[in-house]
């Protein structure tokens, strides 16, 4: 089955032309035909929100033109800072930044200027790829100096992601890092944005990957994985139903499992995989779970590439005690946890999903995404796909099951997703993958459901394990030694 994704609260872009330009009379025409090529100077205002959004130099990824200058003001909501991460940086090298450059400015701080580096690989990256403003806004200025030679060249410019991040206060000082400052010790040790420092007074679960170290005789803050915040945003699917191909990093928690066949799962913390119990103990009685290998793969959207990255060995398997393998029409308790032998290093392609903490995430009509490597149009897919599906009214699903004279148990530990008249894009091979919704209060993606069961792969509803009902059990298992 292919998968689905939820409604994405994208930020709003507000662009305007600087009054200082000489192109005011042609403003509308220039907007349509490429303002950067017609006007050498432009000012834009972007609004940062929690989900990362893209910002590029003019014309990227095509080579930029000489003689251009653009100013971009990025503003975050009150009480938040702006985080800027360069994913590609390809400017013409120049000694002492005398040529083409990117300048990051924050009021009351010395500007930081970046330029191409001689002999550098990977697109001339700046020494520091990430910046967090000390207040709610920053200005990015891109300048390509005029050249007496040919005005075109082969340098692409830059691609960056920007987003709003919490501007917390600790002892009166902001934890956010200013462009002119070095990374703080917290960021250095916790590898922001994939880990974050946990307050010393908070006792956290060892299962989530907290740790302590010493440096210069002092304790380094404990670090915990950041969940539910991919650094590579999901591009909204233009289709209401059906599946789309996922880009690497869109669903960094997605696991590919191979036990009695293809299945899915989701990373929790940096050592646990959340999945469906029936992927481990199938309902078909011909399967006997004896010396059956359990393989888990993470970090890519292509099956062949996942296999090349290698299997993550499983140390322990815990299936919920309510799951009854021999009751073929009862998927109650269809939830399991796999503890990996070793912690996985987090990054853009591997990040955990969050657990739900309130009932509002299950409201009828709320849209979410489900992703997986399952059957697509009758064929097993080789790439991760996702679909956008709504949470359905429980009564509608009960009526649908009665009309079809089905005897499957639809317990309070389950909920249903989809639409009776639309094709259900979830199918065999997607079992164990998760259904995620955006938590607008906590600003993160939350795994509210686990793909559990359905009636074929045609039109109708899909049925999911309600993760909220099992959060206490999940935490107990992850906190236990064995």
Active site residue 192: no
Q: Do the Cβ atoms of 430 and 451 come closer than 8 Å?
A: yes
Closest CA to 246 of 259, 225, 264, 268: 264
Cβ atoms within 10 Å, residue 345: 11
d(CA 373, CA 366): 24
Catalytic residue among 44, 105, 387, 431: 431
Catalytic residue among 73, 334, 430, 439: 334
d(CA 275, CA 296): 11
d(CA 470, CA 323): 12
What does the longest C-alpha to C-alpha distance in the chain come to? 79
Active site residue 71: no
Active site residue 431: yes
Helix (H) or strand (E) holding 369, with range, is strand 367-372
Tokens of 457: 């792969």
Tokens of 61: 């990824």
- The sheet that has 101-105: what strands, in order across it? 13-16, 41-47, 69-75, 137-143, 101-105, 112-114
d(CA 191, CA 151): 40
Which residue do the tokens 């309510």 mark?
Answer: 322
d(CA 86, CA 268): 27
Which residues are known to be catalytic? 278, 334, 431
């Amino acid at each position: 089955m292919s998968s689905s994704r939820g409604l994405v609260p994208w930020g709003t872009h507000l662009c305007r032309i600087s009054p200082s330009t000489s192109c005011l009379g042609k403003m509308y025409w220039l907007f349509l035909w490429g303002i950067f090529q017609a006007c050498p100077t432009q000012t834009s205002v972007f609004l940062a929100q929690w989900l990362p959004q893209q910002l590029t130099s003019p014309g990227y990824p095509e080579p930029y033109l000489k003689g251009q200058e653009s100013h971009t003001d990025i503003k975050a909501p009150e009480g938040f800072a702006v985080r800027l991460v360069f994913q590609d940086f390809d400017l013409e090298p120049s000694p002492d930044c005398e040529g083409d450059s990117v300048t990051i400015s924050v009021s009351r701080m010395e500007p930081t200027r970046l330029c191409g580096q001689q002999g550098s690989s990977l697109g001339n990256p700046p020494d520091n790829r990430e910046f967090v403003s000390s207040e709610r806004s920053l200005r990015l200025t891109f300048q390509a100096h005029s050249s007496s030679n040919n005005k075109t060249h082969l340098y692409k410019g830059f691609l960056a992601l920007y987003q709003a991040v919490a501007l917390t206060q600790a002892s009166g000082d902001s934890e956010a890092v200013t462009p002119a400052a070095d990374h703080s010790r917290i960021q250095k040790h916790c590898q922001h944005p994939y880990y974050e420092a946990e307050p010393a007074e908070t006792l956290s679960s060892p299962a989530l990957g907290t740790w302590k170290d010493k440096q210069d005789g002092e304790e380094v803050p404990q670090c915990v994985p950041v969940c539910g915040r991919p650094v590579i945003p999901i591009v909204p699917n233009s289709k209401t139903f059906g599946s789309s191909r996922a880009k690497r990093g869109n669903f960094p928690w997605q696991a590919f499992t191979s036990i009695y066949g293809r299945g899915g799962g989701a990373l929790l913390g940096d050592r646990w995989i959340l999945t469906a119990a029936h992927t481990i103990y199938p309902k078909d009685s011909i399967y006997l779970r004896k010396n059956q290998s359990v393989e888990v793969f993470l970090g890519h959207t292509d099956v062949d590439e996942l296999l090349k990255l290698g299997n993550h060995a499983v140390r322990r398997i815990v299936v919920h005690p309510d799951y009854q393998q021999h009751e073929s029409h009862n998927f109650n308790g269809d939830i399991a946890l796999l503890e990996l032998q070793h912690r996985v290093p987090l990054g853009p392609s591997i990040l955990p999903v969050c657990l739900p903490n309130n009932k509002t995430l299950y409201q009828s009509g709320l849209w979410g995404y489900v992703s997986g490597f399952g059957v697509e149009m009758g064929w097993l897919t080789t790439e991760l796909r996702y679909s956008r599906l709504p949470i359905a009214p429980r009564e509608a699903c009960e009526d649908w099951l009665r009309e079809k004279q089905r005897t499957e148990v639809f317990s309070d530990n389950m909920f249903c997703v989809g639409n009776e008249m639309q094709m259900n894009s979830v199918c065999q091979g997607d079992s164990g993958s998760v259904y995620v919704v955006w938590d607008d209060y906590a600003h993160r993606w939350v795994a509210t459901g686990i793909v559990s069961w359905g009636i074929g792969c045609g039109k109708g509803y899909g049925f999911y394990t309600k993760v909220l009902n099992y959060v206490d059990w999940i935490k107990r298992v992850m906190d236990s030694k064995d």
